[in-house]
Amino acid sequence: MNENSKKNISLADLRQDFPILNQTIHRQKPLVYFDNGASTQHPNVVIDAMDQCYRKTYSNVHRGIHYLSEQASAQYEAARLKVAAFINAPVPESVIFTAGTTMAINLVANSWGRANLQPGDEVLLTICEHHSNIVPWQQVAAATGAQVLFADITDDGLLDMDDLRRKISNKTKMVAFMAVSNVLGTIFPVDEIIALAKSVGAATLVDAAQHVPHEPTDVQQWDADFVVFSGHKILGPSGIGVLWGKKEMLESMPPFLGGGSMIDQVTTAGFTPGELPAKFEAGTPPIVEAIGLGAAIDYISSVSLNAIADHEKALSAALVARLEKIEGLTVWGPPPEYRSGIVSFTIRDIAAQDLAILLDQKGFAIRVGHHCAMPLHQRLGIKASCRASFYLYNTLEEVESFADALEAVVKRLS
């Protein structure tokens, strides 16, 4: 379906598709869910698709010729086709199902990294990266003798492109970075970063966990070598993620895990790996989770992703406007035009944990802590922050009630 031809769905109608949102907590406080950067909630179609699989068609896939196995295998592979179409992958076999973004990055770091990195080589990240896009590269660097470098940000939360240009060189073999910061909400210039990487012959990996659910993603237009994201951030279940890679890159890489499904032949002398995508899907895959992800993509595909992005940015701008009026409060990140639906903040002399606990008592679910981005928090000079993150089912009324509640909590703690 063409992005511009999709019908608009009213939020009032859409919210009815998410049963978890229709409840009260803590002495009849309406639940307001602002923790979408961590995990999104599930529409009925996803819950029903997974339920029906367990009730009617569940079996292991690709290993049987009986009815249930054939049904489950067809549904599993149909989910792969949906993912491929959703991100405009040129061929479905370059879509690899993993346990999530973390597993996908570990796969690339350990398979591509160990095969290609040598002493003196460099992996360039940004200081904003999630731990899942830092630790695997540090582990592989320690094993290969390579070095991990970090591009800085500006004081207003944008990627410091001058620093990136200074640090990228002929020693750079991989540039791995997030498309959207899970803390600052900063929208990174993906095309520009990839072009710089290509200018020195470096490979590229885009952590698109905070991008794919919110804006149209075209892996061919980006021209990155690898793109990764998680199902649980796009209305799907946990335990399922996606690694997309250029076919020639994936074919050149050794298998990451060994076992069933990923082989062509096994003898006492050794083995030969199978073709893509089986080569990187060892063992029993996340069958029902993949089917749930396929249902989630069907649901998202019926809504304009551009409209979702605009809606979330409007909510962020509205919240920032309210928060900036609270004395002692700091909003971290760039101006609204460079920000997605994520707003992180701290308040002078008030612990982030205390804020989150009191807001929870009023029905507001937000995130508190370092958000798996300790180097970024160290760069900002803070230990923890509160984060409100939005999705398509959140409303302006929720934002206004959240700001009112926050003002009341700050007054109580001051």
CATH number at residue 409: 3.90.1150.10
Are 53 and 36 in a shared domain?
Answer: no
Average pLDDT, the chain: 96
Are 279 and 143 in a shared domain?
Answer: yes
Query: Under a CB-based contact definition with an 8 Å cutoff, are residues 314 and 343 in contact?
Result: no
Instruction: Give the containing element (helix H, strand E) for 347.
Output: strand 342-347
pLDDT at 225 over 60: yes
Structure confidence at residue 1 (pLDDT): 39
pLDDT at 70 over 80: yes
Are 260 and 326 in a shared domain?
Answer: no
pLDDT at 156 over 60: yes
Residue pLDDT, tens place only, 73-105: 999 999 999 999 999 999 999 999 999 999 999
CATH number at residue 89: 3.40.640.10
Residue pLDDT, tens place only, 116-142: 999 999 999 999 999 999 999 999 999
Are 241 and 290 in a shared domain?
Answer: yes
| Position 12, amino acid | A
Rounded distance between C-alpha atoms, residue 9 and residue 302, angstroms: 9
Residue pLDDT, tens place only, 2-11: 454 454 456 6
For the segment 25-32, the average pLDDT, to the nearest whole number, is: 96
Are 25 and 112 in a shared domain?
Answer: no
- Round the CA-based radius of gyration of the chain to a whole number and report it: 22
User: Phi first, then psi: what are they for 10, rounded to 5°?
Assistant: -65, 145
pLDDT at 369 over 90: yes
Crossing angle for the helix pair 67-86 and 287-301, to the nearest 10 degrees? 40
For the segment 189-199, the average pLDDT, to the nearest whole number, is: 98
Percent of the chain at pLDDT above 70?
97
Structure confidence at residue 311 (pLDDT): 93
Residue pLDDT, tens place only, 347-368: 999 999 999 999 999 999 999 9
Are 242 and 133 in a shared domain?
Answer: yes
Are 38 and 115 in a shared domain?
Answer: no
Are 80 and 116 in a shared domain?
Answer: yes
Structure confidence at residue 11 (pLDDT): 67
Which residues form the domain of 370? 3-42+304-413
Query: Given its phi and psi angles, is residue 117 left (phi above 0), alpha (psi -120 to 50 degrees) or beta?
Result: beta
Structure confidence at residue 2 (pLDDT): 46
Structure confidence at residue 5 (pLDDT): 41
Last residue of a domain, one of 282, 301, 320: 301
Are 326 and 371 in a shared domain?
Answer: yes
pTM of the full predicted structure? 0.96
Last residue of a domain, one of 254, 282, 301: 301
Are 357 and 315 in a shared domain?
Answer: yes
pLDDT at 179 over 50: yes
For the segment 159-183, the average pLDDT, to the nearest whole number, is: 98
Rounded distance between C-alpha atoms, residue 127 and residue 124, angstroms: 10
pLDDT at 63 over 60: yes
Structure confidence at residue 56 (pLDDT): 98
Question: Tokens 């491929």 identify what position?
Answer: 84
Are 356 and 393 in a shared domain?
Answer: yes
Query: Given its phi and psi angles, is residue 2 left (phi above 0), alpha (psi -120 to 50 degrees) or beta?
Result: beta
User: How many structural domains compose the chain?
Assistant: 2
Last residue of a domain, one of 246, 275, 301: 301
Catalytic residues: 372
Question: Tokens 């396929």 identify what position?
Answer: 294
390's CB contacts (< 8 A; 6+ apart) are 34, 36, 311, 312, 315, 316, 341, 342
Query: Under a CB-based contact definition with an 8 Å cutoff, are residues 41 and 235 in contact?
Result: yes
Q: How does DSSP classify residue 384?
A: -
Question: Tokens 């970090």 identify what position?
Answer: 150
Residue pLDDT, tens place only, 43-61: 999 999 999 999 999 999 9
Are 309 and 251 in a shared domain?
Answer: no
281's CB contacts (< 8 A; 6+ apart) are 96, 97, 261, 262
